[in-house]
Chains A and B, each alone.
With several copies, the nearest count.
Chain A
Amino acid sequence: MKVKYFAWVRERVGKAEEIIEPPASVRTVEELIAWLSGQGEAYAYAFEKPKVIRTAIDHAHVKADAAIAGAREIAFFPPMTGG
């Protein structure tokens, strides 16, 4: 599945997007964040405060308990500050 990062999440991870293959045991957004945090220092830093991270699946906002099954694109970013 494709993962995208924005704003300081992108800067901390060090890339804007990548293809990841989490194990089948990773079922929710929350679990995916925990799994990503274990993928190295950059990820641990980006996701150090998981409650602050917002997530979108296929361009729609989702909550931490949302299932990731079938997702084509998952994006992680800080609270939005547009407008």
Chain B
Amino acid sequence: MTCPVAIRIQEDDFDIAREIAVLTRSRTDIGAVVSFSGICRADDDSSKIAALTLEHYPGMAEEEIKRHVDEAMSRWPLNGVTVIHRVGRFMPGQNIVLVLTASQHRRAAFEAAEFLMDYLKTSAPFWKKEESAAGAGWVEAHARDDEAAARWTKS
């Protein structure tokens, strides 16, 4: 089973249709493709967000994502994985992250995508700074994200 992997950290936006096309082009063994796109929201539970700045740890970020993609590939029979994380300054409505998983069956594609997102949130070295009317401040980690990631270590 061929499972091409693409991991990119970039300032530019991504094109989901293009990324899916790259993953599935001239293959007939893929039955399911799941995409997750994370988008900058204007409302973070409490405050109104004007913009979001994403900082990352170059080098480690790619390696950490790669480790989790490898883990996902060992857990589920995947036919392709693409992870794109943008960095820079974003306005509400703009894309931040894309995870694509392809598999023969839907369950593996869904679970692998959710697994990757849960780990991206809690273990990939990215940090968000929010700008709102109250000023700028670093986003605090959510306990719910740790809990989401912890699900995958139970069996």
Residues of A in contact with B (beta carbons under 8 Å apart): 4, 6-8, 56, 59-61, 75, 77-83
Contacts and interface: CB of A to CB of B under 8 A. Distances in A.
Interface stretch (B14-22, B57-65, B70-78): B57-65
Interface residues on B, range: 20 to 34
B60 A81 contact: no
B127 A6 contact: yes
B138 A8 contact: yes
Given A56-B125, A59-B63, A81 B140 contact: yes
A45 to B, nearest CB: 14
Nearest to B126: A82
A83 B117 contact: yes
A80 B60 contact: no
Contact of A81 (B59, B63, B128): B128
B56 interface: yes
B102 interface: no
Residue of A77, A79, A83 with highest tally of chain B CB at under 10 A: A83
A82 B128 contact: yes
Interface string B2-28: 000000000000000000000000000
Interface in B96-146: 96-97, 117, 120-129, 138-141, 145
